[in-house]
């Protein structure tokens, strides 16, 4: 019988909070994953010549488990993460993870750490699967051994003091990803390259960076680690998946809800930066933030306010609907909820 954790749920933020256990498995040189299993959460030993440390051969995922309104622990669309991690593995020349193997490992981690899942509406258990090339590799080549780890941490609500619309700067100095590169994989290198742009943006008073397409800087790509949407009239538009944009789980969910539940026309296409300036609403989507409104975009030192700097009606409706489904407050007609 698991004991209730003595956690101050009210003060819980978004950071590392050690749990009981984590999943660990390894693959051999033939790309076959061993049985794997749970081990105590803690540090691991790794060679300084590991492929992940020297050549960035590593990927990750992000998902959450919640206590729902029905007093049970649930996951939201974990099959999407399972499919995406395999695509990311393939792109970085790592052994793919079978969907049932991935799901079993996720369920074991959540069940063993279920007492770390925050109470209803007080946050979630953030789950972080990673795959790394861990064999020593001196030359530039795929590693001969890989490690699959899943750890978890309880996190509080991302916006504890209310949602504040983002103040973005459209970058003319940096790109997030290159055409035909690894932008559509959840690769670790895609995130380390954003650290300096974000640091500079925040030093100038902005919240995040709006990245433009590397092959055409008139077109919008992503916001930091989030997908971007624009509402104009009854049409909701998001950049098409060109191969340099991450296929977000929340992105896909928003498209389906906007069309099926709100009756909006959805469009995945090239999105002009100048169209954002004239939009009725602009918002970002991601696992951590769910939906965050954009209040202002600065380009060429000119600030363009969106919806008078406020969260729009449609963004608010979709956010409420999506969270209601995740917490089983709303009927799950799309079969997105997975019971632990």
Q: Which residues are catalytic?
A: 186
33 close to 89: Cβ distance less than 8 angstroms? no
Ordered DSSP codes for 121-132: TS-EEEEEEEEE
- E strand or H helix at 325, and its extent? helix 313-326
14 close to 158: Cβ distance less than 8 angstroms? yes
249 close to 81: Cβ distance less than 8 angstroms? yes
User: 199 in helix, strand or coil?
Assistant: helix
Beta strands, E only, the chain: 21-27, 37-40, 58-60, 63-67, 73-76, 124-133, 146-155, 166-170, 208-213, 216-223, 227-232, 235-239, 265-269, 281-286, 290-299, 302-305, 337-339
């Amino acid at each position: 019988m698991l004991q209730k954790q003595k956690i101050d749920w009210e003060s819980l933020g978004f950071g590392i909070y050690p749990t009981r256990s984590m999943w660990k498995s390894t693959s051999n040189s033939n790309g076959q994953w061993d049985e794997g299993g749970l081990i105590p959460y803690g540090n691991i030993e790794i060679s300084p010549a590991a492929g992940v440390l020297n050549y960035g051969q590593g990927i990750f995922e992000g998902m959450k488990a919640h206590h729902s309104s029905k007093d049970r622990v649930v996951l939201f669309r974990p099959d999407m993460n399972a499919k995406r991690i395999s695509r990311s593995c393939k792109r970085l020349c790592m052994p793919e993870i079978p969907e049932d193997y991935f799901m079993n490992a996720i369920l074991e981690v959540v069940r063993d750490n279920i007492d770390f899942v925050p109470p209803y509406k007080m946050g979630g258990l953030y789950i972080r699967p990673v795959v790394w090339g861990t064999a020593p590799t001196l030359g530039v080549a795929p590693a001969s051994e890989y490690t699959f780890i899943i750890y978890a941490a309880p996190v509080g609500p991302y916006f504890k003091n209310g949602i504040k619309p983002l103040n973005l700067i459209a970058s003319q100095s940096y790109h997030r990803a290159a055409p035909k590169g690894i932008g559509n994989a959840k690769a670790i290198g895609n995130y380390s390259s954003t650290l300096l742009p974000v640091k500079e943006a925040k030093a100038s008073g902005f919240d995040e960076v709006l990245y433009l397409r590397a092959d055409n800087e008139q077109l919008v790509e992503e916001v930091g680690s989030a997908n971007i949407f624009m509402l104009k009239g009854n049409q909701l538009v998001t950049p098409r998946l060109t191969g340099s944009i991450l296929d977000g789980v929340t992105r896909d969910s928003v498209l389906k809800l906007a069309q099926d539940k709100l009756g909006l026309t959805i469009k995945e296409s090239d999105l002009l930066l100048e169209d954002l300036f004239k939009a009725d609403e602009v918002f970002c989507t991601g696992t951590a933030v769910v939906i965050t409104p954009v209040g202002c975009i600065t380009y060429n030192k000119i600030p363009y306010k969106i919806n008078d700097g406020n969260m729009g009606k449609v963004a608010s409706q979709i956010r409420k609907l999506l969270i209601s489904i995740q917490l089983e407050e709303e009927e799950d007609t799309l079969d997105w909820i997975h019971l632990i």
